[in-house]
Amino acid sequence: MTQVFALIFTAWPSCKAMQRACSSSSTGGKPIVEEFFLATQSDAEAYFGRLNQARELSRRAVQSALRNDAKEPAALLQAAGAIHEAELGNPAQARQDATAALSLAPGRDVEILAALALARSGDAARAQIIVDKLNADFPLSTIVQSYWLPTIRAAIELNRGNASKTVETLQVVAPYDLGNPQPGYWTLYPVHLRGLAFLQAHQGPAAAAEFQKVLDHQGLAQNSLVLALAHLGLARAYGLDAAKDPSVRDKARAAYQDFFAVWKDADPDLSVLKEAKAEYAKLQ
């Protein structure tokens, strides 16, 4: 297993290298955690804005887990894919994937990721039902009570347009901002939400500080979509004050360029990319 993880970190972020790792990760024809390799590659594709490929790899990862009768890992992978969809502007697909994950294996970690996807895709009612269930089922769990429940509640408030409530709700999470909670991969997600809330409230410097925090801890974020979107968040934060200060406008342009460099081969029809290009054009 140690060799498997070493291979993963050597391969990332090169998707071609990851493909070679996937194809070679077998012994005597028996796959070694094939779903983990596929899911990691899916995350990398999402990071680079290639959602179509990320979606296909996620589907293959889920199917691989199911072939091994690993329903909970399959559900976790599907729920993680739902968050990709929500963050990249596909709420209907996010809700569909979250629902499928919950139907497959409604355990604690699956419920956490599914609720987050539902909250970010606008289904506050269903997200709240899961929040209430998690709250009742895990009253003494620090990771649930002090990290994930506030994060999900904040996501609900953010999608309702309640920026100040979002920031207030995330205060309890602040001591754990740089933690690595389970389920993993979505490390720094509360920081991401806090940045989005400050953007929503038109508080540029505060938003910039949150997105910069993500960028300053790339080792924690690894190939998370949150890291790629931090470049865009930082650009938008600077953009709020770009008209007042030419130096801030230059910072905004540079941050947009950093984002476009990461997403240079992104799916061209992504709404996030189209919006970013339109915003950047206004700065010229």
Q: For residue 221, what pLDDT is reported?
A: 85
State the Cα–Cα distance between residues 10 and 192, nearest whole angstrom.
27
In the chain, which stretches have pLDDT less than 70?
Answer: 1-32, 184-185
pTM (two decimals):
0.88
Q: For residue 7, what pLDDT is reported?
A: 32
Distances (CA, A) of 242 to 16, 210, 260: 39, 18, 19
Residue pLDDT, tens place only, 143-168: 999 999 999 999 999 999 999 999 99
Residue pLDDT, tens place only, 207-252: 999 999 999 999 888 889 999 999 999 999 999 999 889 999 999 9
Q: For residue 223, what pLDDT is reported?
A: 85
The mean pLDDT value of the chain amounts to: 89
Q: For residue 281, what pLDDT is reported?
A: 97
Q: CB–CB of 36/9 below 8 Å? A: no
Backbone φ, ψ for residue 164 (5° rounding): -65, -40
Domains of the chain (ranges plus CATH)? Answer: 142-284 (1.25.40.10)
